[in-house]
Structure 1
Amino acid sequence: MRVTQSMLSNNMLLNLNNSYGKMSKLQDQITSGSKITRPSDDPVVAVKGMGYRRDLGQVEQYTRNMNEVNNWLDTSDESLNQVGEQMKRVRELVIQAANDTNTPDERAKAKAEIDQIRKQIQDVANTKVGDRYIFSGTKTGQPLFINGTLNNANVNSEDVKIEVYDGIQMTVNTAGMDLFKSVDDMMGKISDVLDPNRIPLATSDEISSTLGGVTSTSTDDDITTMHNKILETQADVGARQNRVELMENRLSIREISVTKQLSNNEDVDYSKAITEMVTSESIHQAALSVGAKIIQQSLVDFIR
């Protein structure tokens, strides 16, 4: 095959264009910090990158879900703590009222304060996170109490769950219908016992029976029993808070792991890319020099 001058020129231009293309790709990698600028550069890297980004997106969503879980649990814990503190005050009032030296007026004052505490506990039972009631089961749009009456027709004791990891859901609410109903019934019972208009007036033993504990006449709806139920519910909330902390650590570890995998998959090795860039520039300059020598002079150059 006869090699002509035009063939040499065309081959030289083709090789120079390939050299420019390689240097352009290396320059893009150094500038962007990524091995690829478009999926066609390396489909395998691109597909893996999509998977890693999907995983990171899930971690971000689970982290947002975890914040919502913390909001529910923290609010529930604080609300139950308020109820527990009110139980202590009710106990103090009952102990004072159980003294036979108290007059009906003094018991009436204790009853009035207990009635206000009862309303306060009902307000706590209607605690909301955002626009959702946290003690109404899955009926989060309905308050637990309406005008001092349990809204048992429109609330339930079902669990509200939020996904916090792949296939893992956590119960974020505390089903308060039974608990707050028991507390409210107990408060109503105490209020009736302390009623100064009651005939006959309650004896000190009757009043003391509402305390529970070591009293021989204690019942299942006394103050001690109710307070213990509240503490048990708080303990359950605390256990879930501890688990949330463990899940947050797990999410953090997963985020670090996936980010590292994404970096290893896509991030350019600067030292390697810069070395290749310098090498390509040297080869390109050499190609230009050799090409200039290969191209022969034209007939016009000889005529001159």
Structure 2
Amino acid sequence: MRITVQELNRQVLHVINDRNYDMSKLQQQIATGKRLLKPSDDPVDVANTLKLETKLKENVQFKKNINDGVSYMNVTSTALDSMNTLMQRARELAVQGSNDTLSANERAYLNRETSQLFRQMIALVNTEYKGDFIFSGTHTKTAPYEIYESQNLTAQNYINGEMAYFNAGAMAVGSTVQLFNGFDNTVIRNIIPDSFSLSVAGVNYVENTDYTIDYTSGEMTILNAALLVDATPGTANYAPGQVAISFESINSGRDIYGNSISNWGEIYREIESGITMPININADEMTRDAKTGYDMIGTMIRFGQNLVQNNQPGIENAIDEIDAVFSAMLSAQSINGARINRFETTLDRNESNYISTSEIQSQLADTDLADAVMQYATMENVYNAALRTAAKIIQPSLVNYL
């Protein structure tokens, strides 16, 4: 079979171009560190690599979810630890206050500390994480509780209709009246015991002498005839300097429309494919004992009221109530701690899976640099040999000089 010089030249150039392409491909693999540069390099391995890449991205997101959840629950744990400390101190005060040798004044002094403990507890229940209230359930932009501070001694608040009021005008000494909020005519309840004061026409009246207050219900019992007045909106007594009621009360958080919100609802984080876990403890779950029904707000208000009213049996009952609330807080702490352990265990597994998946992906997609360098050296030798051979085979002709 006769092979023309032109055909021989084409074959030699084809071999040289093939070797040059192989060397160029190896150069790219060495430079990028990747064996698979395009789908046609190995369709099966490319498909598997893409699946592994998706798995790695999922692991990264799960890790972010886990770390965020752990941070959230660590803030919860810190708040619960502080609340447990405050409840322990409240119990110590209750034990001290139940001592039958204490005087009414001494119990009143204990109430001052008790009220401050109570305010701090409310502040802890309103703890935030990244701008969200952690104990508000799914209503994370609204605090579970708020301390309403009456400011009814100013003319501006009178004009705005924010003064507290009551109507005892047609009653007798010993009658009980309900306190109302002039802003929205709602019943005033859950008053902090050391915050209440009452004056009429500039005269200050004394609790337990001129009146008594049920701080939970907001009902006032009249003991002095001077307080048998009608102080409802529109009357002369509903004005600055007349009947002035000052107090702080605990209310449920309200949304932007003024509606009370529930602090129930769970917030979840997906920590593995198809597995979600709650990360929050709601305020009721944390502060209310399911067996007895005692809750932190009612317990602390009743405790303070019994101190103010020098009620020793009531103070003794407060010890049991505080123990019940303390038990609820410990239960919430144990639930939160168990969740943190679950998240941290999952995080360890996530990191292990990420490493093993990365290794498998690397085996499929990454260049074996040592092997690639050896191949490149071999190809370079072959390429140079092909060039030398071509130089001998492809001889110059007259055409080269035309």
Same fold (TM over 0.5): yes
Residue in 1 aligned with 2:315? Answer: 207
Match of 2:263 among 156, 159, 165: 156
Q: Hey, what's the Cα distance between the residues in 2 that align with 1:269 and 1:229?
A: 59
Q: Which residue of 2 aligns with 1:187?
A: 300
TM-score, structure 2 as length reference: 0.68
* Structure-1 residue corresponding to 2:14: 14
Residue in 1 aligned with 2:69? 69
Match of 1:38 in 2: 38
Q: Which 10-residue stretch deviates more, 96-105 or 86-95?
A: 96-105
Conserved in 2, the CA contact under 8 Å of 1:155 and 1:177?
Answer: no
The residue type paired with residue 206 of structure 1 is G
What is the deviation of 1:43?
A: 3.1
Contact map agreement 1:136 1:175 (CA 8 A) in 2: yes
Percent identity reads: 30
Q: Residue 226 of structure 1 corresponds to which residue in structure 2?
A: 325
Checking the alignment, whether the CA contact within 8 Å between 1:162 and 1:171 is kept in structure 2 is yes
- The count of aligned residue pairs is 287
Q: Is the 8 A contact 2:287 2:329 kept in 1?
A: no
Taking a change above 3 Å as real, the CA distance of residues 60 and 78 of structure 1, as seen in their structure-2 partners, is same
Gaps spanning 5+ residues in structure 1: where?
Answer: 213-221
How far is 1:77 from its partner? 0.9
State the distance in 1 between where 2:265 and 2:399 align: 97
- Whether the 8 Å CA contact 1:9–1:295 is kept in 2: the answer is yes
Name the SS of the counterpart of 1:146 in structure 2: strand
1:280 aligned residue: 379
Q: Provide the TM-score with structure 1 as the length reference.
A: 0.89
Q: Distance in 2 between matches of 1:65 and 1:116?
A: 37
* 1:290 and 2:290 aligned: no
Cα separation, 1, equivalents of 2:103 and 2:323 = 25
Give the SS at the match of 2:282: coil
The answer to whether the 8 Å contact 1:66/1:244 transfers is: yes
Contiguous gaps of at least 5 residues in structure 2: 148-249, 255-259, 289-294
- State how far apart, in whole Å, the 2-side matches of 1:241 and 1:284 are: 62
Tell me, in whole angstroms, the C-alpha distance in 1 between the residues paired with 2:17 and 2:286. Answer: 79
In the superposition, relative to structure 1, how do residues 299 and 86 fare at CA in structure 2: closer, same or farther (>3 Å)? closer
Q: Deviations over 1:107-142 (max 9, x none)?
A: 111111111111111111111111111111111111
Residue number in structure 2 paired with 1:218:
none
What's the counterpart of residue 86 of structure 1? 86
How many angstroms does 1:272 deviate by?
2.1
CA contact (8 A) 2:87 2:326 kept: yes
Q: Match of 2:319, SS?
A: coil
Structure 2 counterpart SS, 1:194:
helix
Greater shift in the superposed pair: 31-40 or 186-195 = 31-40
SS in 1 for 2:277: strand
> Are 1:239 and 2:334 an aligned pair?
no
> Displacement, 1:54?
1.3
Query: For residue 318 of structure 2, what is the amino acid of its counterpart?
Result: T
> Is the Cα–Cα contact under 8 Å of residues 72 and 129 in structure 2 kept in the other structure?
yes
| Deviation sequence 1:42-67 (CA, Å, 0-9, x none) | 33333222222211111111111111
The amino acid of 2:302's aligned partner reads: K
Q: Which has the higher strand share?
A: 2
Instruction: Tell me how far 1:179 sits from its aligned partner.
Output: 3.5
Deviation at 1:18, TM superposition (A): 0.8
What is the CA–CA distance in structure 2 between the aligned matches of 1:225 and 1:291, rounded to whole Å? 96
User: RMSD value over aligned CA atoms?
Assistant: 1.8
Give the letter for the 2:283 counterpart.
Answer: G
SS at match of 2:271: strand
Which secondary structure does the structure 1 equivalent of 2:8 belong to? helix
CA distance in structure 2 between the aligned counterparts of 1:144 and 1:137, rounded to whole angstroms: 8
Normalized per residue, the structure richer in helix is 1
Alignment of 1:114-133 (within 5 A): 114-133=114-133
2:357 is the counterpart of 1:258? yes
Deviation of residue 81 (structure 1)? Answer: 0.9
The alpha-carbon deviation at position 180 of structure 1 amounts to 3.1
User: How far apart are the structure 2 equivalents of 1:66 and 1:300?
Assistant: 75
Match of 2:348 in 1: 249
Alpha-carbon deviation of 1:92? 1.4
Q: Deviations over 1:13-71 (max 9, x none)?
A: 11111110011111211222211233343333332222222111111111111111011
